[in-house]
């Protein structure tokens, strides 16, 4: 008598494509970050990164390190070294002098903020595919740029804002140059590496060029 053949069992197989589809459909796209917030975040990160490289302020204000230069060439060397070493500190000093000068003239401060806001919202943060519309008229990119450039020229050269900025910037540069000329830089570069040597791939190339060639092998005497 023949033995009956058992019927094959069908196992349930999950469809991975359905799972993938369900996972993809449940994920919601994140909304894009606003352009203004992205600009503010970029500038804040850049400012924080730059301020992290500033030198200690007591080192900048050390009176014992001040001495009169003996010649103009020595003063030039001091200015070059000190500006390279205290670069971030000098930027802060110039910015503070400009800020104090603007705070003493509220009208100039309002003009400067208006000019910066015009450039920011009418040109820099405006989508490139959306033309500017003002007073029922559409302006092209060239017309917008020309209008902003003309307004900047008028505010910087024909209003008190321009003379205030020039005076404050000239005063700050003069103070920085005087401090850099009288600051003796002999004790500033003891712990720093020599910046005249190139770093990275250029240093590897220079090291490879300066390696003396190997001596040719001496043939064995038979």
Q: What is the DSSP letter of 200?
A: T
pLDDT-derived band at 1 (thresholds 50, 70, 90) equals low
Residue 166's pLDDT is: 92
Sheet strands (E) in 105-188:
132-134, 137-139
Within a domain: residue 153? yes
pLDDT in tens, 160-213: 898 999 999 999 999 999 999 999 887 665 444 444 444 433 333 343 334 444
pLDDT at 134: 78
pLDDT tens track for 72-85? 999 999 999 999 99
Is residue 208 included in any domain, yes or no? no
Residue 124's closest CA among 38, 33, 30?
38
User: Does a structural domain hold residue 105?
Assistant: yes
Cα–Cα distance, 94 to 174 (Å, whole number)? 10
Q: Are 78 and 140 in contact (CB under 8 A)?
A: no
Tell me what percent of the residues of the chain surpass a pLDDT of 90: 29
pLDDT(128) > 50: yes
Strands in the chain per DSSP E: 132-134, 137-139
> Residue 82 has which token pair?
């000190």
Distance of CA 203 to the CA centre of its chain: 25
Residue 7, in any domain of the structure: no
Task: Give a yes or no: residue 29 inside a domain.
Answer: no
Domain assignment of residue 84, yes or no:
yes
Identify whether 139 is part of a domain: yes
Phi, psi of 101 (to 5 degrees): -65, -40
Residue 118 phi, psi dihedral angles, 5° rounding: -65, -45
φ and ψ of 186, to 5 deg: -65, -30
188 lies in which domain range?
45-196
**81-126 residue pLDDT tens:** 999 999 999 999 999 999 999 999 999 999 999 999 888 888 877 7
Distance, in Å, from the CA atom of 112 to the CA atom of 194, rounded to the nearest integer, reads 41
Report yes or no on 184 lying in a domain.
yes
| Count: domains in the chain | 1
Residue 180, number of CB atoms within 10 A of its CB:
21
Residues 84, 73: Cα–Cα separation, whole Å: 17
């Amino acid at each position: 008598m023949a033995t009956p053949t058992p019927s094959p069992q069908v196992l349930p197989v999950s469809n991975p494509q359905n799972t993938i589809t369900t996972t993809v459909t449940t994920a919601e796209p994140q909304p894009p970050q606003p352009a203004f917030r992205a600009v503010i975040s970029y500038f804040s990160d850049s400012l924080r990164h730059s301020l992290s490289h500033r030198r200690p302020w007591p080192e900048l204000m050390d009176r014992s390190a001040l001495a009169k230069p003996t010649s103009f060439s020595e003063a030039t060397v001091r200015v070059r070294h000190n500006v390279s070493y205290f670069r971030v500190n000098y930027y802060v000093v110039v910015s503070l002098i400009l800020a104090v000068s603007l705070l003493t003239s509220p009208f100039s401060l309002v003009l400067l903020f208006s000019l910066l806001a015009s450039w920011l919202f009418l040109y820099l943060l405006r989508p490139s595919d959306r033309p500017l519309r003002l007073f029922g008229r559409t302006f092209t990119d060239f017309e917008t740029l020309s209008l902003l450039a003309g307004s900047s020229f008028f505010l910087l050269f024909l209003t008190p804002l321009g003379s205030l900025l020039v005076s404050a910037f000239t005063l700050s540069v003069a103070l920085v140059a005087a401090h850099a000329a009288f600051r003796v830089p002999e004790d500033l570069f003891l712990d720093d590496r020599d910046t005249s040597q190139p770093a990275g791939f250029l240093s590897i190339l220079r090291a490879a060029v300066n390696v003396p060639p190997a001596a040719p092998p001496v043939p064995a005497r038979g």
